[in-house]
Amino acid sequence: MTISVDVHLMRGRFEIEASFAIETAGVTALFGPSGAGKSSLVHAIAGLLRPERGSITLNGRTVLDTARGIDVPSEKRRVGYVFQDSRLFPHLNVERNLRFGWRRAERRADEKEFAEVLEMLGIAALRDRRPGTLSGGEKQRVAIGRALLASPDILLMDEPMASLDAGRREEILPYLERLREERRLPILYVSHALDEVARLADQIVVLTDGRVGAQGSVFDLMPRIDPRSGVVLAAHIVRHLPDGLTELAFAGGPLFVHRLALAEGSAVRVRIAASDVLLALHPPEGISANNVIKARIAKLSERKGDLVDAELAAGPATLIARITRASAKRLGLISGTEVFAVIKAVTVDAPIATGDQRAI
């Protein structure tokens, strides 16, 4: 699946000049601050806004090329769209809302796939209810189901959790993870929330003031976007230990976390916040943390106030520790210094399970 976007779009006096390409399935986050032009850009991809000039190609199909006079109507672009609010029809029950998109699909899913989508999103038991009786998270899951049942080539999600409180976001995140892993549908996910991006995205396109500032994998770009958020690492389960721990392996060595309810060999995503990494010049003794990783200072970056970000090379992997300037001076840290990274906490995001904060 290839998605190629190269457009010039005016919204009043605000100019969007964006060019990027996505060549794999999975979740690509369109990330940036409010007002960066993210929603306008996905509206253009969906055919809801017409750029002044440019081209858009979806899976080899040119849906927009202003130079050649091509502008495929939105309903013919095979794009599923999930808005910030669910936009369900209040007079229809859940099943009739779902079948609205299903009946209009160019390539209609069969009843087996219809049932699979309901099961995947956990909405089978809601099919007789009206939208007014659903929670915010339930409404968004139904909206996602309606978009999927239109059999799209790409799913556009425009900040689908922006209107939800923290509890509802935690409710819906596992379903989005499952959608990412099971459907392997290209998803362009608009967000300005780094925690969502870190947990869901495979790739990130950074949009600032209407321009693409960077694009790359979530593992490479997260530390560059906001070092405070630390790093996202790919890992897998090595074994489950009898003392209630699970051993993970990542590029920098082993990590030990509270036991995970997943099979050995399962792939997981690990997030380590910069504030959860302490540094020592010698192997620490008599501490509660199970994870001490030998590393080397690759770079020191001063931040506002009295803080310093230490970028650490743990083999081929990168960690970030946010420490005080006084601590860096007291330890005599410079580029090349050998250190031991004491990791206080790890967030483990399993492909289909809910990630949660684990003290280790």
* pLDDT tier at 10, thresholds 50, 70, 90: very high
Mean pLDDT score of the chain = 90
Residues 24 and 100 in one domain: yes
The larger pLDDT score, comparing residue 283 to residue 182, is at: 283
Q: Which CATH number fits the domain that encloses residue 316?
A: 2.40.50.100
Residues 209 and 118 in one domain: yes
* pLDDT tier at 237, thresholds 50, 70, 90: very high
Mean pLDDT of 99-119: 80
Check whether 35 has a pLDDT greater than 70.
yes
Percent of the chain at pLDDT above 90?
A: 68
Q: Residues 213, 219, 223, 226: is their CA dihedral positive or negative?
A: positive
- What is the rounded end-to-end Cα distance, in angstroms, of the chain? 40
Check whether 355 has a pLDDT greater than 70.
no
Residues 239 and 195 in one domain: no
- Do β-strands 70-71 and 61-65 pair in parallel, antiparallel, or remain unpaired? antiparallel
Lowest mean pLDDT among 77-91, 100-114, 135-149, 196-210: 100-114
Mean pLDDT of 309-329: 96
pLDDT at 97: 93
Number of domains in the chain: 2
CA distance 117 to 183: 10
Check whether 263 has a pLDDT greater than 80.
yes
Decide which of 190, 207, 224 is a domain's last residue. Answer: 224
The larger pLDDT score, comparing residue 358 to residue 284, is at: 284
Residues 181 and 256 in one domain: no
Extended strands (E) in 218-306: 231-240, 245-250, 253-258, 267-272, 277-280, 291-302
pLDDT at 31: 95
* pLDDT tier at 170, thresholds 50, 70, 90: confident
The larger pLDDT score, comparing residue 85 to residue 10, is at: 10
CA 335 → CA 253, 268, 280, 285, 299, distances in Å? 21, 31, 15, 25, 5
pLDDT at 248: 97
Residues 220 and 323 in one domain: no
Residues 47 and 175 in one domain: yes
Residues 171 and 302 in one domain: no
The larger pLDDT score, comparing residue 308 to residue 354, is at: 308
Residues 236 and 341 in one domain: yes
* pLDDT tier at 350, thresholds 50, 70, 90: low
Check whether 153 has a pLDDT greater than 90.
no
Sheet with 307-314: strands ordered across: 277-280, 338-343, 291-302, 307-314, 317-324
Residues 162 and 83 in one domain: yes
Q: Which CATH number fits the domain that encloses residue 64?
A: 3.40.50.300
Closest C-alpha among 222, 344, 357, 227 to residue 280 = 344
Mean pLDDT of 294-317: 94
Q: Please give the backbone phi and psi of residue 228, each rounded to the nearest 5 degrees, phi first.
A: -60, -30
Residues 245 and 179 in one domain: no
User: Would you say 154 and 80 are in contact if contact means Cβ atoms under 8 Å apart?
Assistant: yes
Query: What digits encode the pLDDT tens for the residues 45-66?
Result: 999 999 999 999 998 899 999 9
Residues 212 and 249 in one domain: no
CA distance 275 to 68: 52
* Confidence (pTM): 0.86
pLDDT at 230: 87
Domain membership of residue 252 as a residue range = 229-359
Percent of the chain at pLDDT above 70?
A: 95
Check whether 358 has a pLDDT greater than 70.
no
Amino acid at 282: H
pLDDT at 184: 79
Residues 193 and 313 in one domain: no
pLDDT at 94: 94
Decide which of 203, 224, 245 is a domain's last residue. Answer: 224
pLDDT at 357: 36
Decide which of 174, 192, 224 is a domain's last residue. Answer: 224
The larger pLDDT score, comparing residue 54 to residue 101, is at: 54
Most confident listed range (96-105, 221-230, 243-252): 243-252
pLDDT at 356: 36
